[in-house]
A and B are shown apart, each in its own frame.
Chain A
Amino acid sequence: MRFNPNINAAVISDIQQSEDNLQTAFQQESTGLRVNSASDDPAASAALVQVQAQAANIDQYTANADSIIAQAQTADGVVSSVVQYLTQAITLGTEGANSDESTADKAAISAQVQGLLQSVVGLANTTYQGVSLFGGSYSGQAFTGNPTSGYTYQGNSDVNQVNVGDSLTVQVNIPGSTLFTSSSGNVIAALSGLATALTTGTTTDIGNATAAVTTALNYVTQQHAVYGNTINQLNSQETYLSQEKVTLTSRENSLVGIDPATAAEQLSQAETENSSVLAAAAKVIQNSLLNYLSPTS
Chain B
Amino acid sequence: MSSLSSSLAIASQSLQAQELEIQVTNNNIANVNTAGYTRETVNLAEAGAIQEGSVSVGEGVDIVGVNSVRDNLLTLRIQQQTSQQSSAQAQVNALTQIESLFPTSGTSLSSSLSSFFTSLSSLSTDPTSTADRQTVLQNAQTVVDQFNSISAGLSGPSSGLDTNVDTDVTQVNQLSSEAASLNVQLLQQQAAGQSTGTITDQLNQVETQLATLTNITVTHTSQGDSIVTGNGTPLVIGSQSYALRTAIGTDGHQQVWDSNGTDITSAISGGDLGGTIEVRDTQIPALQNSLDTLANQFATAFNAAQEQGYDQNGNAGAALFTIPTTVAGSAAGISLATTDPTAIAASSDNLANTSGSNGNVASLLAVQNASLASGSVTTQSANLIYQIGNLTATATAQSTAITQSLTTLNNQQGSLSGVSIDQESANLIQFQQAYQAAAKVISTIQSLFETTINMIS
Nearest Cβ on chain A to B402's Cβ, whole angstroms? 13
* Chain A minimum-CB-distance residue to B381: A49
Q: Is A122 an interface residue (CB 8 A)?
A: no
A47 to B103, CA, bound (A): 13
Chain B binding surface, main DSSP class: helix
CA distance A52 to B107 in the complex (A): 12
B365 close to A163 (CB less than 8 A):
yes
Count contacts on A: residues with CB < 8 A to the other chain.
61
Question: In the complex the two chains form, is A63's CB within 8 Å of B122's CB?
Answer: yes
Stretch at the interface among A95-103, A113-121, A127-135: A127-135
CB distance from A235 to the nearest CB of B (A): 16
In the complex the two chains form, is B128's CB within 8 Å of A57's CB?
no
- Across the two chains, which residue of chain A brings its CB closest to B366? A163
B389 touches A39 (CB 8 A): yes
Stretch at the interface among A154-162, A217-225, A260-268, A275-283: A154-162
Quick one: which of A48, A131, A166, A288 contacts B421, CB cutoff 8 A?
Answer: A288
Please indicate the chain B residues that have their CB under 8 angstroms from the CB of A168 in the complex: none
Q: Is the CB of B407 within 8 A of A13?
A: yes
Instruction: Check: A104 CB closer than 8 A to any chain B CB.
Output: no
Contact partner, A41, options B378, B389, B410, Cβ 8 Å: B389
Closest B residue to A255 by CB, please name it: B104
Which residue of chain A has the shortest Cβ distance to B100 in the bound complex? A37
Q: Does B420 contact A (CB under 8 A)?
A: yes
Would B124 and A163 count as touching, CB distance under 8 A? yes
Q: Min CB distance, A112 to chain B, in Å?
A: 34
Any chain A CB within 8 A of the CB of B18? no
Bound: A83/B412 CA distance, A: 95
Question: In the assembly, what is the distance between CA of A173 and CA of B410, in Å?
Answer: 77
Report yes or no: B407 in contact with A53, Cβ–Cβ below 8 A.
Answer: no
A208 sits at the interface (CB 8 A) = no
Q: List, in ascending order, chain A residues with CB within 8 A of B420's CB.
A: 2, 5
Give the contacts of A11-35 with B (CB-CB under 8 A). 13, 35
Interface centre among B115, B128, B356, B359 (most CB of A within 10 A): B356
Q: Which A residues are in CB contact (< 8 Å) with B385?
A: 38, 42, 45-46, 49
Question: Which residue of chain B has the shortest Cβ distance to A38 in the bound complex?
Answer: B389
Flag if A38 contacts B125 (CB, 8 Å): no
B386 touches A45 (CB 8 A): yes
Q: Are B356 and A52 in contact (CB under 8 A)?
A: no
Cβ contact within 8 Å between B421 and A5? yes
Q: Shortest CB–CB separation between residue B133 and chain A, in angstroms?
A: 13
CB of A256 within 8 A of chain B?
A: yes
Asked whether, in the complex, the Cβ of A67 is within 8 Å of the Cβ of B125, the reply is yes
Q: Do residues B354 and A2 form an inter-chain contact, with CB atoms below 8 A?
A: no
Query: Residues 409-435 of chain B: 1 if any A CB is under 8 Å from the residue's CB, otherwise 0?
Result: 011101110111111011001000000
Query: Is the CB–CB distance between B104 and A48 below 8 Å?
Result: yes
Task: Say yes or no: is B127 at the interface (Cβ < 8 Å to chain A).
Answer: yes
Judge whether B248 is part of the interface by a CB distance below 8 angstroms: no
Contact in complex: A160, B359 (CB < 8 Å):
yes
CB distance from A58 to the nearest CB of B (A): 10
28 interchain pairs (CB within 8 A)? A4-B412, A37-B103, A39-B393, A40-B393, A41-B393, A42-B385, A42-B389, A42-B393, A45-B389, A46-B386, A47-B382, A52-B111, A57-B121, A59-B118, A64-B125, A129-B128, A129-B129, A136-B354, A137-B127, A137-B349, A137-B354, A137-B356, A140-B353, A156-B354, A158-B349, A158-B359, A166-B369, A293-B425
Q: Least Cβ distance of A234 to chain B in Å?
A: 12
Instruction: Kindly provide the distance from the CB of A114 to the nearest chain B CB, expressed in whole angstroms.
Output: 29
B358 within 8 A of A: yes
A162 near B99 with CB under 8 A, answer no
B→A interface (CB under 8 Å): 95-96, 99-100, 102-104, 108, 110-111, 113-115, 117-118, 121-122, 124-129, 347-349, 351, 353-359, 362, 365, 368-369, 378-379, 381-383, 385-393, 396, 403, 407, 410-412, 414-416, 418-423, 425-426, 429
Number of interchain pairs (Cβ within 8 Å): 193
Closest 3 CB pairs of A and B: A38-B389, A42-B389, A5-B420
Known: A5-B415, A9-B414. 11 other contacts (CB 8 A): A4-B412, A5-B422, A6-B418, A42-B387, A45-B104, A46-B389, A49-B385, A53-B114, A132-B356, A139-B355, A161-B362
In the complex, which of the residues A48, A53, A131, A166 contacts B128, with contact meaning CB atoms closer than 8 Å? A131
In contact, B362 and A169 (Cβ under 8 angstroms): yes
Most buried by B among A137, A288, A289: A137
Report which of B103, B114, B117, B357 forms a contact with A160, defined as CB distance below 8 A: B357
- CB of A38 within 8 A of CB of B129, answer no
**Contact A68–B121 (Cβ < 8 Å):** no
Which A residues lie within 8 Å of B347 (CB)?
A: 137
Q: How many Å from the CB of A59 to the closest CB on chain B?
A: 7
Measured between alpha carbons, how far is A2 from B418 in the docked complex, in Å?
10
Q: Decide if A38 touches B121 in the complex (CB within 8 Å).
A: no
Residues of A within 8 A of B386 (CB): 38, 42-43, 45-46
CB-defined contacts of B357 to chain A, threshold 8 Å: 136-137, 158, 160
Assembly CA distance A255 to B382 (angstroms): 14
B354 engages A64 (CB within 8 Å): no
Chain A 51-89 interface 0/1 with B at a Cβ cutoff of 8 Å (1 = within) = 011001101110110011001000000000000000000
Q: How far is the CA of A49 from the CA of B382 in the complex (A)?
A: 6
Q: CB-CB < 8 A to B95: which residues of A? A: 39
For the complex, give the distance between the alpha carbons of A5 and B420 in Å: 5
Q: Is the CB of A162 within 8 A of B358?
A: yes
Contact A57 B411 (CB under 8 A): no
A89-B348 Cα distance, complex, nearest whole Å:
38
Q: Give every chain B residue within 8 A of A6 (Cβ-Cβ).
A: 414, 418-419
A61 and B354: CB pair below 8 A?
Answer: no
Option from A61, A130, A158, A256 in Cβ contact (under 8 Å) with B104: A256
Contact A160 B110 (CB under 8 A): no
The closest CB in chain B to the CB of A56 belongs to B114
- Docked Cα-Cα span, A39 to B399, in Å, equals 14
User: Closest CB of chain A to B101's CB: distance in Å?
Assistant: 10
**B381 touching A57, Cβ below 8 Å:** no
Q: How far is the CB of A151 from chain B (nearest CB, A)?
A: 18
- Residues in A whose Cβ lies below 8 Å from that of B388: 38-39, 42
Q: Are B110 and A137 in contact (CB under 8 A)?
A: no
Please tell me if the beta carbons of A160 and B382 are within 8 angstroms of each other in the complex: no
Inter-chain contact B126/A67, CB cutoff 8 Å:
yes
A10-B411 contact, Cβ under 8 Å, with A42-B385, A139-B353? yes
B415 touches A2 (CB 8 A): yes
Closest CB-CB distance, B219 to chain A, in whole Å?
28
